[in-house]
Amino acid sequence: MIGLLRNPAAAYVLLPLAAAAWAGNHVIARSVAGIVPPASLCAVRWLLVALLIWLAARRQINEDLPRMFTRPGVLVLLGVTGAGGFGTLQYVALQHTTALNMGVVGSVGPAFIILASFLLFGDRVSMMQLTGVGISFVGVLAIVTRLHPELIGSLSFNIGDLIIIANMSMWAIYSACFRLRPQIAPISFMFAISAVAFLTNVPFAFWEHARGFTLQMRGETFLAVFYTVFFTTLLSYISWNKGVELIGAARASAFMHTTAIFSGIFATTIIGERIELYHVVGFLLIIGGVTLAARPSPQTDAAEKTRSRQP
């Protein structure tokens, strides 16, 4: 089993798994918007995740502790951009923007990751990979516009849309800088960024409380906490981090478009919406684009093989 997780092909399962967990989180976030305070929810979320990981792997964490302090700044950066800020702002954005706009604006994520990887590390991206990202982006547009491209010009960008853009910028930095993490076990890394994310959200949780937006013991709160802890955090982050490790941030970024596929599936099974022609067209374009973008370029193929042989 461990050997399979070292094979780059495993990323084709791990990355869509993370996307599915994120798509479910959008449903949860929309259902609790205005009811559950975002920063308070995320503070509880990351505290519980850190405690669960500590109980399950404290021996490994203690062994990795000295190596964590070799790059404390990197862990803080990754914890803030990829966890503490990203998770909370997603809930904030969904209180202000529509599902249509979120689909369009959020789809800039792959392009942002490729741009961040290029600007920060000079990563080379092949024309085939760029083409794949573009095709999958067209697939997202096909879904959110229902095959009526003229709707794009009528989209208005509110504060929620701007928050999504800022949020995807942070996720791009996290994904590009993931390679800088200290050489510690994945479970120890999750513990470290969970602790940073918790501390990041505490001041904002107090601010929410001072404004009267408090975390109350109700069904919506327990549902949101349960999902964000076990699916949005543990399942999605472990799957995404391993997928990025296997094939790199630029290639992994295209899989973010598969969130639209899972959102469509959840909409039909949970909300009861019907699958239309534009869903089918969009799904096919997204799958085709991801297939192209996830293929290794000649420059990355050798590096990928070397990485897959590492213990």
Report pLDDT digits (tens) over 218-238. Answer: 888 898 999 999 998 889 988
Check pLDDT > 80 for residue 157: no
Q: What angle do CA 282, 286, 291 make, to 5 degrees?
A: 150
Say which residues have a Cβ less than 8 Å from residue 263's Cβ, sequence separation at least 6. 23, 26, 27, 103
135 vs 301, which has greater pLDDT? 135
Among 60-64, 148-152, 160-164, which stretch is predicted with the lowest mean pLDDT?
Answer: 148-152
Q: What is the pLDDT averaged over residues 249-261?
A: 79
HSE at residue 226, side-chain half, CA atoms within 13 A, is 7
* Token pair 């590009």 in the structure block, residue: 176
Question: What integer best gives the mean pLDDT of the chain?
Answer: 82
Give residue 129's region: left, alpha or beta (phi > 0; psi -120 to 50).
alpha
- 276 has pLDDT over 80: no
Lowest model confidence (mean pLDDT) among 66-80, 164-178, 205-219, 289-303: 289-303
Q: How far apart are CA 304 and CA 279, in angstroms?
A: 34
More confident residue, 248 or 204: 204
Per-residue confidence (pLDDT) for residue 29, from 0 to 100: 80
Q: How confident is the model at residue 90 (pLDDT cuts 50, 70, 90)?
A: confident
Q: How far is CA 136 from CA 132, 133, 143, 149, 285, in A?
A: 6, 5, 11, 15, 6
Structure tokens at 39: 């920063």
